[in-house]
Structure 1
Amino acid sequence: MELRVLQYFLAVAREQSISAAAKSLHLSQPALSIQLKELEREVGKQLLLRGTKGSRKVILTEEGMLLRKRAEEIMRLVQITEKELSVCEEAIAGDVYIGVGESDSIRLFAQAACKLRKKYPDIHYHILSGNAAFVMEQLDRGLIDLGAVYGPIDTTIYHSIKIPIRDTWGVLMRKDSELSQKEQITPDDLWDKPLLVSAQKNGDWEMTKWFHRDIDQLNIVATYNLVFNASLMVEEGIGYALCFDKLINVSGDSNLCFRPLFPKRESEASVIWKRYQPFSKAAQKFMDALEECCTALHNE
């Protein structure tokens, strides 16, 4: 499977038209059609549904959508590799790809980047947000250099260092809500309340132990990936959002407030990266700076 043909396929998927894709690629339509049919023969699957007579639009089959996703990842890896190889021996420049969730501990990543900025201004950072499953998937595919996750780490696959910042769990709510008068929120306060929780929860959700109840016994009315979106739903009166502190500004004229849990519940993240993974010079410099920031904070 040639990279050139994958680029042709992606152009057709983007344009949803063989003729339009051929024009953008400066190819004849028959030549492009032959390449696509050869690609389908090579993978043994139909990738495109050609339009009926009078319609030039093409639609990706299920296999075509899978190939599109993989082809985009392949082309991105090619671009990353080309950039890394094009950097001269003496220069420290390039791109660092980082996968993170929503946490105040991300400030450490920003501090490490600022620490390097003056000396290495040609290092650029790309932040991809997602839960632990997303971060590990991106790492396994080689699409990011390092990531931050919560929970146990498989040390046979990943190296890791602890981030010396603990995130405090609590409840985001409206200032006029029933529970806003309390300084701390207990499990029985929430048993009958409409809750918004992170979409990454599963059967091993750490908050289950705090609630002393299974997930299906709670009144979960919505899940979220981004706490900012959850905050808007809370502000409109949908319910109470379980989240980390310091992610939403509740000061000043905000209609929201945050109350910590009791018993207190905290989580600690780890920076992880693949074992035996070669870092680019830029990524190695960033990793060194991040470790220095973690060590300095730990020694305070």
Structure 2
Amino acid sequence: MEFRVLKYFLAVAKTGNITRAAEETNISQPALSRQIMDLEDELGVKLLKRSKRNTTLTEEGYLLKKRAEEICGLMEKTVEEISSSKNNVGGNIRIGCGETAGMRIVANALHELMQEYPKICANLYSMNDSGVKEGLEKGTLDFGVLVQPEPPQHYPYIEIKHKDIWGVFMKKDSPLASRENIRAEDLYELPLIVSQQALSNKELKGWFGKKEDELNIVATYTLIYNASLMAEAGVGYLLSLEGILNISEKSNLVFKPLSPPCVCRIYFVWKQGQIFSKAAALLKERLLSL
């Protein structure tokens, strides 16, 4: 299985059309069709469902697409790392990030680094902790930003000098909006919108003092923007971290911290034994110096 053929296959998967894929990859349509058929013969499975209108992926095709994206991403990352010289630092730094206001510190470090080395490009991927860890293990990420109460056990890390405070976003006309802070008993009977990560990591279980099935959880979320629209619509009270939503005067939401405080720390992590590109190593050094 050749790297070149995988890129051809990804072009077909992306366009859903052999003709357009051939144009994108600068190869003739018959030659591209032959390459895909040879790939199917090599693997012993059908990768594509062909029709007059379009070309779609089989179940095996979807699996190959996922793996081919990982392989091609790693290949491109390797080429960047090897071709980068000491006096010509550049290429991509890939960071998987949880949603946190602490990213400002990482962003400032990236800005300073990119001012010094303009050929560096930051690729940021918003995801939860499980997505970050998967990317680190597969090598598709250089770094991750984890938001959790305790230090990570299996990853080297730099603790970012910022702490996130849990609280509740609610409509300004909510009965609780006049409170300075929110206690657990205030929320026991109310409809709650809760992050899936907080549920899986049980970050809030100790604060609530109740099991999640004893709470009135009406919705869960991975990223906060769409969850904030649910809160604005009155679906429920949105439990989240302070500072990651813009709640200006024009916003219909207000934030109230939990009491007693429920705090998360921010960790900039990487895989044990990671071999860094020059650009990634410089970012790590810069954050260590803060």
TM-score range for the pair, normalised by the shorter chain length: over 0.9
Mapped partners of 1:96, 1:133: distance in 2: 20
Residue of structure 2 in register with 1:33 after alignment: 33
Q: Report the Cα offset of residue 204 of structure 1.
A: 3.9
Q: Give the residue type in structure 2 aligned to 1:260.
A: P
Q: Are residue 255 (structure 1) and residue 252 (structure 2) matched?
A: yes
- Superposition CA RMSD, Å: 1.9
Q: Give the residue type in structure 2 aligned to 1:50.
A: R
Q: Report the Cα offset of residue 174 of structure 1.
A: 0.9
**TM-score computed with the length of structure 1 as normaliser:** 0.89
For residue 86 of structure 1, the aligned residue among 83, 87, 97 is 83
Residue of structure 1 in register with 2:46 after alignment: 46
Structure 1, 224-233 or 3-12: larger mean CA deviation: 224-233
Could you tell me which runs of 5 or more consecutive residues in structure 1 were left unpaired when the two chains were aligned.
294-300
Residue of structure 1 in register with 2:9 after alignment: 9
Q: 1:266 to 1:201 in 2, by over 3 A?
A: closer
Mapped partners of 1:100, 1:255: distance in 2: 27
Q: Report the Cα offset of residue 166 of structure 1.
A: 1.1
Q: How does 1:91-130 map to 2 (within 5 A)?
A: 91-130=88-127
Mapped partners of 1:200, 1:180: distance in 2: 26
Q: Report the Cα offset of residue 170 of structure 1.
A: 0.4
Q: What secondary structure, in the 3-state scheme, does the structure 2 residue paired with 1:102 have?
A: coil
Q: 1:23 to 1:249 in 2, by over 3 A?
A: closer
Q: Report the Cα offset of residue 23 of structure 1.
A: 4.3
Structure 1, 56-65 or 32-41: larger mean CA deviation: 32-41
Contact 1:18–1:56 (Cα < 8 Å) also in 2: no
Moved over 4 A (4+): none
Note the alpha carbon deviations across 1:165-185, whole angstroms, 9 max, x for none.
111000001110011121111
Q: 1:63 to 1:229 in 2, by over 3 A?
A: same
Mapped partners of 1:31, 1:125: distance in 2: 36
Structure 1, 37-46 or 99-108: larger mean CA deviation: 37-46
Q: Are residue 230 (structure 1) and residue 216 (structure 2) matched?
A: no
Q: Give the residue type in structure 2 aligned to 1:246.
A: G
Residue of structure 2 in register with 1:276 after alignment: 273
Aligned length: 288
Q: 1:119 to 1:18 in 2, by over 3 A?
A: closer
Residue of structure 1 in register with 2:204 after alignment: 207
Contact 2:147–2:267 (Cα < 8 Å) also in 1: yes
Mapped partners of 2:259, 2:226: distance in 1: 25
Residue of structure 2 in register with 1:296 after alignment: none
Mapped partners of 1:42, 1:202: distance in 2: 44
Note the alpha carbon deviations across 1:231-289, whole angstroms, 9 max, x for none.
22212211110001111233434321111111211011211101111111111111111
Q: Are residue 154 (structure 1) and residue 132 (structure 2) matched?
A: no
Note the alpha carbon deviations across 1:179-230, whole angstroms, 9 max, x for none.
1121111111111111111122445411011111111221111122222222
Residue of structure 2 in register with 1:185 after alignment: 182
Note the alpha carbon deviations across 1:121-143, whole angstroms, 9 max, x for none.
22221111111101111111111
Q: Are residue 62 (structure 1) and residue 59 (structure 2) matched?
A: yes
Q: Report the Cα offset of residue 26 of structure 1.
A: 4.2
Contact 1:9–1:36 (Cα < 8 Å) also in 2: yes
Mapped partners of 1:255, 1:201: distance in 2: 24
Residue of structure 2 in register with 1:18 after alignment: 18
Residue of structure 2 in register with 1:297 after alignment: none
Contact 1:115–1:289 (Cα < 8 Å) also in 2: no
Could you tell me which runs of 5 or more consecutive residues in structure 2 were left unpaired when the two chains were aligned.
none
Mapped partners of 2:163, 2:213: distance in 1: 28
Mapped partners of 1:106, 1:10: distance in 2: 32
- Identity across aligned pairs (percent)? 44
Q: 1:25 to 1:260 in 2, by over 3 A?
A: closer
Residue of structure 1 in register with 2:214 after alignment: 217
Contact 2:99–2:126 (Cα < 8 Å) also in 1: yes
Q: 1:279 to 1:203 in 2, by over 3 A?
A: closer
Contact 2:100–2:147 (Cα < 8 Å) also in 1: no
Q: What secondary structure, in the 3-state scheme, does the structure 2 residue paired with 1:178 have?
A: coil
